[in-house]
Amino acid sequence: MQSSHLLLEEPIRMASILEPSKASFFPAMTKIVGTLGPKSRSVEVISGCLKAGMSVARFDFSWRDPEYHQETLENLKTAVKTTKKLCAVMLDTVGPELQVVNKIEKAISLQENGTVILTPDEGQEASSELLPINFDGLSKAVKKGDTIFIGQYLFTGSETTSVWLEVSEIQGNDVVCVIKNSATLTGSLFTLHASQIRIELPTLSDRDKEVISSWGVKNKIDFLSLSYTRHAEDVRHAREFLSKLGDLSQTQIFAKIENIEGLNHFDEILQEADGIILSRGNLGIDLPPEKVFLFQKAALYKCNMAGKPAVVTRVVDSMTDNLRPTRAEATDVANAVLDGSDAILLGAETLRGLYPVETISIVGKICAEAEKVFNQDLYFKKTVKYVGEPMTHLESIASSAVRAAIKVKASVIICFTSSGRAARLIAKYRPTMPVLSVVIPRLKTNQLKWSFSGAFEARQSLIVRGLFPMLADPRHPAESTNATNESVLKVALDHGKASGVVKSQDRVVVCQKVGDASVVKIIELED
């Protein structure tokens, strides 16, 4: 008998659990975003990350300068060429992030029940009694009894490397706090998070704008991760800013939800953004621990129904220092996949973790196992019901393609697209087989020069679950008057065969435009 949620047989056949996992060309349908940093910036390690399954590289500007990140990016480009694995680039903004400044980088020990003063005087030296911060409005934002959390870069959750403080009094611009747990802070930068407190700083800071208009434009970034998105207006403002930067008008904006304010305005933010990142590190401080899973499930459901990619963070923290995740973490990754997430984002685990390649590899394996028991049938019915009738033309074609592919047990769905929208809609229905998105470049001109579109659209599908892009030869038209468009299809099928996704006698579902009509057809491959 099938359960209503999983495709597992009940009682579960234990023998099937013990069978070794089969290797496949695509490690998993769920994508992995890796943050590149000190332990993951050499060509060798990045190549390992790409082979292990990383499809988006995240550059976090909370720390280090653009020159440092540029060196890392050049290494990424080399690794992409040598491994022949496509990779998108995500720029993560700093936003209104509060930071403790520790210029001389000495370890700071804080003792439970002691006191420590947070001061906006950045000229002071960080010590066990005094922590300088980069914001002079904290004393006006907090009151006695409020909670403040300090941890290195991304909160580890480990109570010996991060500290909880309770505000005991305000002295002018200084905030005096009682230390709630003993901890040792190490490194040059610690993030400070005041729980459920609004910080009066712009979501897109002047420094962010400077980095985007120089580093971002130069490198034609695919995604902008907008830290601390609190309102839909934040996304609109960022889009307006990007639209003035030429090439970046195509950059997708992923709103990072990391506090109560963003949670309260989630629906409007989702409408404006191209995708959502559930930043569980900060959310875990703003929300009681027992509520975090509820937000995750509700937010992922909303993203899925809107057909917008959802990314979950903070899944295997312990792998920053260990070769294996905890059982709870392994289960957490699987649950994120079963809840419907498109991608898993790794932060400290790949940035300064000791095992970046192994972490990506194991997360990919867990995702692949969870995908096998993802109840696609239930999901499909739920999505069709949510979309309602009458469906739009494109939505109808996308859902029909997925239904046909499942009915005939197709090995792959091939979708011809220019903007990537049709392929994303097919992926929205979560087919059990990979979707090969063949992006047909379009020739465009700004009256000064001719250029081809397509590269952005191809790379941007690297964050969508189940979508695998391929850039077609611009000489082949996407819309064809003859119903076969054999040349492009042959190239796509050859690519599928070479990568082991399709073999002789397989069935393939093809979705393409023919003149003004959209067509879904089923092809049976010959020997």
- Looking at the fold, whether 412 and 324 belong to one and the same domain comes out as no
Domain-embedded: residue 2: no
Return mean pLDDT, the chain: 88
347 and 415 together in one domain: no
Q: Which residues of 256-279 are buried (b: 16+ CB within 10 A; e: fewer)?
A: bbbbbbbbebbeebbebbbbbbbb
Residue 1: predicted pLDDT: 36
Alpha-carbon distance of 346 to 342, in angstroms, equals 13
Angle of helix 327-339 versus helix 289-306 axis, rounded to 10: 30
Amino acid at 155: F
As a whole number of Å, the CA-based R_g of the chain is 24
pLDDT at 454: 73
10 falls within a domain: no
Residue 61: give its domain's CATH number.
3.20.20.60
Question: Is the entire prediction scored with pTM above 0.85?
Answer: yes
Question: Are residue 142 and residue 228 in the same domain, yes or no?
Answer: no
Q: Which residue has the tokens 């434009």?
A: 217
* Residues 78 and 207 grouped into a single domain: yes
How is residue 55 written in tokens? Answer: 């499809």
Distance (Å, whole) CA 358 – CA 344: 15
CA–CA dist 439, 417 (Å, integer)? 5
Q: Are residues 368 and 390 in the same domain?
A: no
CA distances from 449 to 218, 353, 419, 457 (A): 18, 45, 21, 20
Last residue of a domain, one of 307, 338, 372: 372
Domain residues for 266?
A: 27-96+202-372
In 3D space, the residue among 280, 309, 276 whose CA is nearest the CA of residue 292 turns out to be: 280
List the alpha helices (DSSP H) in 13-64.
Answer: 14-18, 43-52
Q: Cα 508 to the chain's mean position, in Å?
A: 29
Q: Is residue 59 domain-shared with residue 105, that is, in the same domain?
A: no
**Number of domains, the chain:** 3
> pLDDT value at position 158?
62
**Dihedral sign (CA 73, 75, 77, 83):** negative
Are 184 and 112 a contacting pair, CB within 8 Å? no
> So what's the pLDDT on residue 445?
66
CATH number at residue 392: 3.40.1380.20
Q: Are residues 223 and 84 part of one domain?
A: yes
In a domain, 17, yes or no: no
Is 182 strand, coil or helix? Answer: coil
Q: Are residues 274 and 308 in contact, defined by beta-carbon separation less than 8 angstroms? A: yes
The residues pairing with 88 across neighbouring beta strands, listed in sequence order, are 56
Residues 6+ apart with CB under 8 A from 302: 266, 267, 270
Q: Which of 211, 195, 115 lies closest to 155 in space, CA to CA?
A: 195
- Residue 19 inside a domain? The answer is no
Give the CATH number, domain containing residue 135: 2.40.33.10
Residues 367 and 382 in one domain: no
Q: What's the pLDDT at 3?
A: 40
431 and 291 in a single domain? The answer is: no
- Would you say residue 21 lies in a domain? no
Among candidate residues 174, 194, 214, the one where a domain is terminated: 194
Output the CA angle 501-311-372, nearest 5 degrees.
Answer: 40
Class of residue 293 by CB neighbours under 10 A (exposed 0-12, middle 13-18, buried 19+):
middle
Co-location of 361 and 238 in the same domain: yes
Does a structural domain hold residue 31?
yes
Phi, psi values for residue 83, rounded to 5°: -90, -15
Q: How far apart are the C-alpha atoms of 227 and 212, rounded to whole Å?
A: 13
| Contacts for 111 with CB less than 8 Å, ≥ 6 apart | 128, 179, 182
In 234-362, DSSP assigns E strands to 252-257, 275-278, 310-313, 343-346
Residue 284: the pLDDT is 85
> What gap in Å lies between CA 176 and CA 170, rounded to an integer?
6
35 is written with which tokens? 């943050």
Low-confidence ranges of the chain (pLDDT < 50): 1-4, 9, 11, 154, 478-484
Q: Is residue 309 part of a domain?
A: yes
Are 42 and 165 within one domain?
no
Examine residue 488 and state whether it is found in any structural domain, yes or no: yes
Q: 184 has which bridge partners? A: 109
Question: Which residue, of 135, 167, 194, is where some domain finishes?
Answer: 194
Q: Please, are residues 442 and 479 in contact by the beta-carbon 8 Å criterion?
A: no
Tokens of 401: 């393609």
Amino acid at the residue 169: E
Same domain? 138 vs 222? no
